[in-house]
Amino acid sequence: METRYLKWISFGLLTTIVFGLAQCKKEIASTEKVYAPSYYLPELPQGYPPLINSEKNPLTKEGEKLGAYLYSDPILSSNGMTCTSCHQPALSWSGPLYVNPKGIKTSVPIHLNLGFRTVFNWNGSAPDLDLVAKGDFEPEFFNTDSNELKLKLQANSLYQGLFFEAFGVKKVHQLTFDSIKTLASYALAQHLRARIAKPSTFDLYRQRRGTITPEIYRGMLLFFSEKADCFHCHMEPMYCDNSAHNNGLQDNHEGVDKGLELVTGKASDRGKFITPTLRNLSKTGPYMHDGRFTTLEEVIEFYDSGIKNSETLDPIMFKRHEDLKLNLTQQDKADLVSFLKSLNSLEE
């Protein structure tokens, strides 16, 4: 009799355990994260061209978030460097003059409004924003040790989660080094695509939501005139043109000063460099590809009277003045500086 009861009790317990386990399993399954990125496009300021989204790396909130973390975190490097080491937020994601181990000087390009550009780096050597950051893992910059990076990622639950949410990769540290670099670069590209300049004093004036000083107004008239002729390469609202030009910095081009020619191999591209945006300009010195000018006044002085002729000098630089001079007055130069400063975002 007792055995009979016991059998029933055992059966009941077993059933409870099995049923309980099944329920438990169900609960575990239901709490497992699902890869569901949120595709989006940021709201653009008035007059901006369409953002160039990437087919292979479309912008998602999760990818942008991962990129934002990686941008200022030394986890990608083996020497403590981050993207912000050179592209400093306080300097509108530009930085002081960069000198590489060979002694070559480079003005740090501004990381702003890159989602509208089709070519990157001063000499146009990078046509794909998604892959630009892969070069940062090299010894010259992050000097990344692949094993060290994998161990750091393995031990970091935050990044494990962020990489999963952004790209659906559960164990990022198990990927190849090249794949990790690619995904990190993708995330950084997304973050940079979403980084759009905030309105400037001049933007507000254009939108009839603000006023400008008489100095800025006079500078504006010069900027958009044939006299100073800045607008042909620096047309609003981007203040750059996705093209390379020889703007007459020198009459002889050697080494890195050959610019685009080093990328295309064409002599007709000698001395050409990609036009930078003028937004936040007063924060992004030194100026020109090699940072040879430290102030805006020096830059304007150069365009006024320092242009040097060469076989590839841009035709625009010849306009009006056979001697390649603009003949600006001191007042003109001061007004142009005032106008250029009005292109600074009012907030970061």
* 276 part of the interface to another protein, by CB under 8 A: no
* 316 part of the interface to another protein, by CB under 8 A: yes
What is the smallest separation between the CB atom of 227 and another protein, expressed in angstroms?
10
Residues in the chain: 348
Residue from 73, 215, 241, 298 touching another protein (CB under 8 A): that is 241
* Structural contact between residues 301 and 288, judged by C-beta atoms closer than 8 angstroms: no
What are the φ/ψ torsions at residue 287 (nearest 5 degrees)? -110, 160
What are the φ/ψ torsions at residue 258 (nearest 5 degrees)? -70, -20
Sign of CA dihedral 195, 196, 200, 204: negative
* 266 part of the interface to another protein, by CB under 8 A: yes
Burial of 191 (0-12, 13-18, 19+ CB in 10 A): buried
* 231 part of the interface to another protein, by CB under 8 A: yes
* Structural contact between residues 303 and 239, judged by C-beta atoms closer than 8 angstroms: no
Distance CA 260, CA 257 (A): 9
- Please identify which residue in the block is written with the tokens 């000063």: 257
Two tokens at 329?
């007055």
**Closest residue by Cα to residue 88 from 281, 288, 326, 284:** 284
Q: Which is nearer to another protein, 241 or 301 (CB)?
A: 241
Q: Which helix (H) or strand (E) holds 244?
A: strand 244-245
* Structural contact between residues 135 and 184, judged by C-beta atoms closer than 8 angstroms: no
Residue from 169, 221, 256, 262 touching another protein (CB under 8 A): that is 221
**Closest residue by Cα to residue 236 from 7, 20, 45:** 45
* 320 part of the interface to another protein, by CB under 8 A: yes
* Of 35-43, 85-93, 105-113, 307-315: span binding another protein (CB under 8 A): 307-315
* Of 25-33, 125-133, 154-162, 224-232: span binding another protein (CB under 8 A): 224-232
* Of 72-80, 218-226, 285-293, 295-303: span binding another protein (CB under 8 A): 218-226
* 264 part of the interface to another protein, by CB under 8 A: no
* 212 part of the interface to another protein, by CB under 8 A: no
Distance CA 44, CA 267 (A): 38
Q: Which is nearer to another protein, 134 or 227 (CB)?
A: 227
* 49 part of the interface to another protein, by CB under 8 A: yes
Residue from 17, 158, 235, 346 touching another protein (CB under 8 A): that is 235
* Of 4-12, 22-30, 155-163, 312-320: span binding another protein (CB under 8 A): 312-320
* Of 45-53, 67-75, 89-97, 181-189: span binding another protein (CB under 8 A): 45-53
What is the smallest separation between the CB atom of 254 and another protein, expressed in angstroms?
20
Residues interacting with another protein, by CB under 8 A? 47-50, 116, 118, 220-221, 224-226, 231-232, 235-238, 241-242, 266, 268, 309, 311, 313-320, 322
